[in-house]
Structure 1
Amino acid sequence: MSFPPPLIPKSLPPNAKIALISPSFRVNTLIPTSLARAQTLLISLGYTITTIFSPTDEDLDPVLSSGAHIPASIRNRLAELRAAFADPTIDMILCTVGGSTATELIPHLAADSSLQQLIRENPKIFVGYSDITVLHWSLRALTGLRTFYGPCAVPELGEAVTATSASVSSFDFSRDHTEQNKPEDDGYLQDFHLAHLLRTLSTPTTTTTTTTTTPIPRSSFYAPMVPPYFLSPQTRTSTTPRTLLRSPPWTWLRRAPRTEGRLFGGCLTVVARIQGIAPISPPSWKGKIMFLESATAEADMTKGNPLGRIRSAFADLAARGVFDEIAGLVVGRAYGYNTERERAEYAAVIQGLLCKGRLGASTTFPILTNVDIGHTAPIVTLPMDALAVLDSEKDEFSITEAVVV
């Protein structure tokens, strides 16, 4: 079974209407202050915002209801997704946050031909990361829709420091901030998130033969910690800016000749879980450039996924034959791995599994690490299944086609 032909959404107009949905973790009532800040920020940039959130029966006692809150949540999330795509005035769907329950939607999405047809008839920009990987894969496989692996409303746009139209439009990715001109607060992060998101989504192709090469930018500084409002109930309304560290440079764990392929992937542990689920998995990874990034630890958001879990996730994908087929691999800057030693240990897992032993002897694809993807700050926006190029000699990671129309 092959993927359907790609369905490319229209570019984001200046006065777009954006719908906020929560298809995995229902964050809306947990951190309302940061969600409100994200809404206010987007409105200040000229967008109209609607939040689609109807948590009917999700607060049922799990024991007294014998778990009835779970199917209620599934129904609600599917209905919200349908409402967002059905509304002809909505141009873009932005997820509020990731989570851990999006896989509950897969059987329903796969079986609902009317929802699939609705999406095909009303293609829209769809953005999110982390557990939203499940929706990216599902929408591409079931409808053909190109989606975008990029920022969510609460973690990226809900910080107290607010970007402006001027700061976003004038943001210069090529400027190399140094310790002498180091950004003083979260404004740098928010400007980076938004500048790359909006430039990616707002540049349509002008003809069917248009070709383009758009380099993926790299940050000068990054935040090693999630925003404080994620850490405890006591910090839900915190406005304390995050500490910024110098971003580690892009690192090629394996160099190879220039390679081009379609970009596909997501959050490492989610990809390891869902790879092989027939309705949504790529029928083949042959020729694809895979991207992977790792999340926070489940029990402690000040830390990253333990190295053992990183190793097992890469091993799971290796055992399924994914790395036998891909043309290249891009790995995001790993959350929680902030010292040179920690980053070297993370890299050693990849090198040990992919560059040595069986795969080391049978594959030669390039491997690039420390890219601003996913669970880090700032983050770039990657168009799913778009043509991309990796060139280790030129230190290049670029998108090579227009990604909206």
Structure 2
Amino acid sequence: MPSTIVPKALEPGATIAFISPSARINHEFPGVMSRATSLLEGRGYKVREIYNRDTGIQSSISNRLAEVRTAFSDPTISAIICTIGGPTFTELIPALSADAELHSIIRANPKIVVGYSDISGLHWFLHAYTGLRTFYGPGAIPELGESSSVDDKSSPLAFSVNHLFRVITNREPIGDIPRSPTYTAKVPTIFRNPASVEPPELSPTPGWIWLRPGKAQGRLFGGCLTVIARLGGVRGIVPDWKGRIVFFETAIGDDEESGNPLPRVQAGIADLIAEGVFEEAAGLVVGRPFGYDTPEMREQYIGVIKGLLCEGRLASKNFPILFNIDIGHTSPMVTLPFDALAQLDSEKDQFSILEPGVL
């Protein structure tokens, strides 16, 4: 794989592009996109939304490939934020993998790239073919377009935005990963009513839980569990897992109200085990799972992790496991830099990034 390329820190007044390489719903949420744009412009950045309406499956694939190429090829764009995840990014991988000219363009003019969920596939592609460090963090829909005020320091929006910009603008080591005292347990109201400006309902955060104690250092890599389980079968983009601090989190369930079903979570972790992800892993970080909001439900989720990774043939691996971090399908969320050196230390109750995210 190519050597790591770390993008430059986002400078004041830079241009940020929104692209939609998976789900194509920008036009359904104009108010959300407008709020996300205003938020970034309010911080002094220029914003471009690169998006063309699709007319079918092949039209969508062509549009997305063109939009990705436009964003990476434009030297005036410094950062790319993916609007949302979705189910279809893998449709782009064959063409992106074959586009050697694009790989060269990206390496010559590296940009900050942010996204989560199905955007795990974009992160894996960029790491494998260009070496670019990217960032697992919020999108425009719904995070940056949330209806609450970024000036309200207690809001999920403020937490997510402040940590995102801490990671992509600051050239100092990122340091300790913060913890939000509250979170929202419900799906944003915009998914029922795109025009909704109802603020999120907040609950106390249960806090971090060490499922297995220990201390470890390793380079971060992972993504959304069900997505990365699929990506393990895509030749050419699978990372070397040796010595990694692996991270994963789980998506919202099919009913768009509850969490990912436990059998699916169990199957996803089993897939990673079968793919050898944990054979020489240094540690594991698990995001707060959407929909598992009672102590009983959290214990069921934890039971799956422990049953597969702390018992049986992997019990002797003894790498630390930290659960309930603000990553992925939860609000608020922190931003994690791929391939950055991180540390877990249960004795100090600490998860920290030992390097800057950007240059």
TM-score (norm 2): 0.98
Match of 1:347 in 2: 302
CA distance in 2, matches of 1:323, 1:202: 32
Matched, 1:12 2:49: no
Match of 1:190 in 2: 157
Matched, 1:245 2:199: no
Match among 108, 111, 125 for residue 121 of structure 1: 108
Match of 1:70 in 2: 57
Match of 1:285 in 2: 241
Measured after TM superposition, the shift of residue 226 of structure 1 is 2.1
Could you say what secondary structure the match of 2:343 adopts?
A: strand
The 5 A counterparts of 1:45-84 are: 45-55=43-53, 58-59=54-55, 69-84=56-71
Match of 1:66 in 2: none
Gaps of at least 5 residues in structure 1 are 60-68, 172-182, 206-211
CA RMSD of aligned residues (A): 1.1
| Amino acid of the structure 1 residue aligned with 2:320 | P
Gaps of at least 5 residues in structure 2 are none
Match of 1:176 in 2: none
Deviates more, 1:385-394 or 1:155-164: 155-164
CA distance in 2, matches of 1:260, 1:82: 35
Match of 1:139 in 2: 126
Larger radius of gyration: 1
Identical pairs, percent: 53
Could you say what secondary structure the match of 2:48 adopts?
A: strand
1:267-287 Cα deviation digits (max 9, x unpaired): 0000111113221111x2110
Match of 1:227 in 2: 188
CA distance in 2, matches of 1:389, 1:139: 24
1:41–1:162 CA contact under 8 A, matched in 2: no
Could you say what secondary structure the match of 1:323 adopts?
A: coil
Match of 1:374 in 2: 328
Match of 2:270 in 1: 315
Could you say what secondary structure the match of 2:93 adopts?
A: helix
Matched, 1:34 2:32: yes
Could you say what secondary structure the match of 2:27 adopts?
A: coil
Matched, 1:263 2:230: no
Measured after TM superposition, the shift of residue 47 of structure 1 is 1.0
CA distance in 2, matches of 1:78, 1:213: 32
Measured after TM superposition, the shift of residue 213 of structure 1 is 5.9
Matched, 1:393 2:354: no
Matched, 1:325 2:280: yes
1:322-356 Cα deviation digits (max 9, x unpaired): 11121100000000000000001000000000000
| Amino acid of the structure 2 residue aligned with 1:323 | F
Match of 1:162 in 2: 149
2:167–2:174 CA contact under 8 A, matched in 1: no
Aligned residues: 359
1:214–1:399 CA contact under 8 A, matched in 2: yes
**Segments ≥4 residues shifted beyond 4 Å:** none
- Residues 213, 71 of structure 1: alpha-carbon distance in 2 compared, 3 angstrom cutoff: closer
1:213-242 Cα deviation digits (max 9, x unpaired): 600001100000121011x3xx11111112
Matched, 1:214 2:167: no
CA distance in 2, matches of 1:199, 1:403: 9
| Amino acid of the structure 2 residue aligned with 1:240 | E
CA distance in 2, matches of 1:312, 1:87: 41
Matched, 1:383 2:337: yes
TM-score (norm 1): 0.87
Matched, 1:364 2:318: yes
CA distance in 1, matches of 2:200, 2:358: 33
Could you say what secondary structure the match of 2:323 adopts?
A: strand
Match of 1:64 in 2: none
